[in-house]
Amino acid sequence: MSRFIENFLDPVVIERYGVSILQGVWITLGIGLAVVLTGTMLGLVLAVVRTFGNKPVNAVILLFVDWFRALPPLALILIVYFGLPNAGIVLPSVMVLWLSLSLVLAAFCEEVFWAGITATPQGQWLAGRATGLTLAQTLVFIILPQAIRMAIPPLTNRAINITKNTSLGSAIGVSDVLGRAMATQSLASDATPLMLAAIIYVIVFTPMVVASRLIERRFAPGRPR
């Protein structure tokens, strides 16, 4: 046990670097929140546009969704970070991380929202049109509220996963929790900074996981409002 503590929970290392690593939490949460907001909204917009049935536009949307769902987030981050400068576009590492993860999340969210839209009974569309609403009005006021309700449970899990993926930013120098832990690990000469980062992730994300479970139960299909 003493050997384990010495290598993974060295109190001297924790005292020296703990505060610095802990400060990375705000970067992790800040980028994560920005990614969730941007990716979710873009996914919703794409699903709404797809509803109008324009075949060329839908083909582009499907291509976008398939590409970004298939591409590993780390590969996309590295492509954007090292590829765009060759085209004369230089972005800060934080912006590269935000942009890359937002596109990945948007691809998944589009499919989730689209599934909610298509799962809404056809009679809801007919009822809306029968009352004199346009297609757009029927979509906004009748279909989307139901579709979003059905989409909330899978979206919460996806949001947590994409927020944890902010740790991939350490590969391009983003100074989040993992980035700071990796930077100090070489100075500490043991695994204590990485263990500390792991503990921080557990403390931060466990309440989110519990909350997502409660949200899933609250918005489960068939449950009354």
Beta-carbon contacts of 89 under 8 Å, excluding residues fewer than 6 positions away, are none
What's the chain's length in residues?
225
With a cut of 90, say whether residue 93 has pLDDT above it: yes
Does the domain at 2-218 match CATH 3.40.50.300? Answer given as: no
Q: What is the pLDDT of residue 39?
A: 95
Return the CA Rg of the chain. 22
Q: What is the pLDDT of residue 223?
A: 57
With a cut of 90, say whether residue 130 has pLDDT above it: no
> Is residue 72 helix, strand or coil?
coil
With a cut of 70, say whether residue 107 has pLDDT above it: yes
Beta-carbon contacts of 179 under 8 Å, excluding residues fewer than 6 positions away, are 24, 167, 169, 170, 173
Average model confidence (pLDDT) across the chain: 88
- Within 10 angstroms of residue 106's Cβ, the number of other Cβ atoms is 24
- Confidence grade of residue 87 (pLDDT, cut at 50, 70, 90): confident
Mean pLDDT of 161-171: 89
